[in-house]
Structure 1
Amino acid sequence: MTKSHEELISDYQRSTSQAFFALYTDWFRQTKSQLRRLDLTHPQVQVLSTVEALSMENDEVTQAMVAKAADIDPMTASAIITKLAREDFLDRFPGKKNPRSKAIRLTQHGQDNLEKALVVMADFDKDYWKDQNPNRQDLIQSFKTKI
């Protein structure tokens, strides 16, 4: 039996996907607002933190390594890294193992701002998930009941 258009719309509006999207959208908007104070975006923080984490384990960190570890498309990672390098968050230089590849590392400016961003994100996450705002609690509860 095929569902009517109205039933399909109704099912979609009550779906797990829709509940997740509403919660994610709210979380992302709030995250964006918090990071705006530091002139950073969430993807930029993701790249900076990935570079730092990889630097702790590897002598050399490449753009390809960052894209893979951060689970970001290589072209997107390259654009983010280029912008962060222009703004003195990262140094880019020819790789030692393969001079055609670009190796990267955090600058002092990048390290300082990553530290600030990680504190902002940790505080935000703690507050976001325990927030008693009824609308947010409804979003969280709606998603929890669907998973």
Structure 2
Amino acid sequence: MTSSQDGHEQGPWANPGFLLWRVTLKWQREVAATLRPLGITHPQFVVLASIWWLGRHGQPPSQRELADHTGMDAMNASQVARTLEKKQLITREGDPHDTRIKRLRVTAEGIALAKTAITHVEAVDHAYFTAAPDRAGLVTALLALAPPDTDGS
């Protein structure tokens, strides 16, 4: 519980961590609901869209680059990528210069799904975050809390 300057308890509604938890859960439920008819989960969407985006701006990303970009741990990113590969939405190919590296490439079907899913999720984002009195300020605050990696991702 947080306390005001005069020492009185303000409760969870003044605690940014508690509020972020509630905002995140509500937003995730809305995103999951919009993705369900498309046949993918929220983590699958993040991985699919990230592979597509990263691949458009250079060589196909490695699983490590994907994990770094999304903030997922490498094991989870790899598991989600394997699921997307089974769905034939991505391919995982060996790197010609380093056999330890798997390069991820979105299939034509995956690109079509990524584009549709991005449109759906952006609509959820727009509707959900319209309630924020200063959307630009919210984005600035979130970037301060979780800045992008210095590698440009």
TM-score range, shorter chain: 0.7 to 0.9
| 1:108-142 C-alpha deviation (Å, 9 max, x unpaired) | 11101001101101111112223xxxxxx6xx68x
Query: Residue 37 of structure 1 aligns to a residue in which SS?
Result: helix
Percent identity at matched positions? 22
Q: Does 1:122 align with 2:122?
A: yes
Partner of 1:16: 16
User: Residue type of the partner of 2:22?
Assistant: A
The two structures have a TM-score, normalised by structure 1, of 0.77
Q: Which residue of 2 aligns with 1:82?
A: 82
> What CA distance in whole angstroms lies between the structure 2 residues aligned with 1:69 and 1:43?
13
Structure 2 residue identity aligned to 1:40:
I
Q: Please tell me the residue identity of whatever aligns with 2:31.
A: T
Distance 2:70 2:21 in 1: 21
**How far apart are the structure 2 equivalents of 1:60 and 1:88?**
16
Bigger mean CA deviation after superposition, 103-112 or 59-68: 59-68
Matched-pair contact (CA < 8 Å) for 1:60–1:95: no
- Provide the rounded CA distance (Å) in 1 between the counterparts of 2:92 and 2:17: 39
The DSSP-based 3-state class of the residue aligned with 1:104 is strand
Q: Tell me the distance in 1 between the aligned counterparts of 2:57 and 2:19.
A: 38
Identify unmatched segments of 5+ residues in structure 2.
142-153
Q: Give 2:144's aligned residue.
A: none
Match of 1:100 in 2: 100
How far apart, in 2, do the equivalents of 1:56 and 1:122 lie? 19
**Offset of residue 85 of structure 1:** 0.3
The one-letter code matched in structure 1 to 2:37 is: R
Q: Which residue number corresponds to residue 58 of structure 1?
A: 58
1:31 and 1:121 in contact (8 A); partners too: yes
Q: CA deviation at 1:72?
A: 1.0
Structure-1 separation of matches of 2:115 and 2:13? 39
Higher helix proportion (structure 1 or 2): 1
Per chain length, whose mean CA-contact separation is higher, i.e. which structure has more relative contact order (CA < 8 Å, sep 6+)? 1
Aligned length: 130
Other-structure match for 1:45:
45
Equivalent AA in structure 1 for residue 51 of structure 2: V
> In structure 1, what is the Cα distance between the partners aligned to 2:60 and 2:123?
31
**Aligned-partner residue type, residue 117 of structure 2:** A
Cα distance in 1 for partners of 2:116, 2:70 equals: 20
The residue type equivalent to 1:44 in the other structure is Q
How far has the Cα of 1:14 moved from its partner?
Answer: 4.1
Looking at structure 2, the residues matched to 116 and 36 of structure 1 have their Cα atoms a distance apart, in angstroms, of: 13
Whichever of the two has the greater Rg, that structure is: 1
Question: Counterparts of 2:99 and 2:34 in 1: how far apart (Å)?
Answer: 38
> Gapped runs of 5+ residues in structure 1?
131-136
